[in-house]
Amino acid sequence: MTRKPVLIPLLSTLLLAAGAAAQTPPDAVQAPPAEPAAAAATASAPPVPLLWKASQGETSVYLLGSFHLLRPDDYPLAPSVDAAFEDASRLMFEMAPEEMNSPTLALKMGQAGMRTDGTTLDSELPPETAAALKAWLADNAGRVQSMGLSPQAVQMFEPWFVALTITLIEMTNHGLDPALGLDTHLEQRARQAGKATVGLETGEEQIAFLGGMHRPEQLQFLREALESSGEAGRWELDKLHGAWRAGDERTLWNEMAVRMRMEYPALYHRINVARNDAWLPKIEALFEQEGNTLVVVGALHLLGEDGVVHKLRERGYTVERVP
DSSP conformation letters of 53-106: EEEETTEEEEEEEE-SSB-GGG-SPPHHHHHHHHHEEEEEEEE-HHHHT-HHHH
Domain positions in the chain are: 7-28+43-321
pTM above 0.75, yes or no: yes
Mean of pLDDT values over 94-107? 90
Query: Looking at the predicted structure, is the pLDDT value of residue 50 above 80?
Result: yes
Residue 19: pLDDT band by 50, 70, 90 thresholds? low
Model pLDDT for residues 174-198, shown as the tens digit of each residue: 999 988 999 999 999 999 999 999 9
Please give the residue that has the higher pLDDT: either 53 or 144. 53
Are the CB atoms for 206 and 301 separated by under 8 Å? no
Model pLDDT for residues 231-280, shown as the tens digit of each residue: 877 888 899 999 999 999 999 999 888 988 998 899 999 999 999 999 99
Residue 6: its pLDDT value, please? 82
Residue 20: its pLDDT value, please? 66
Residue 155: its pLDDT value, please? 97
Query: According to DSSP H, which parts of 246-307 are helical?
Result: 249-253, 259-263, 265-268, 274-285
Mean of pLDDT values over 13-23? 67
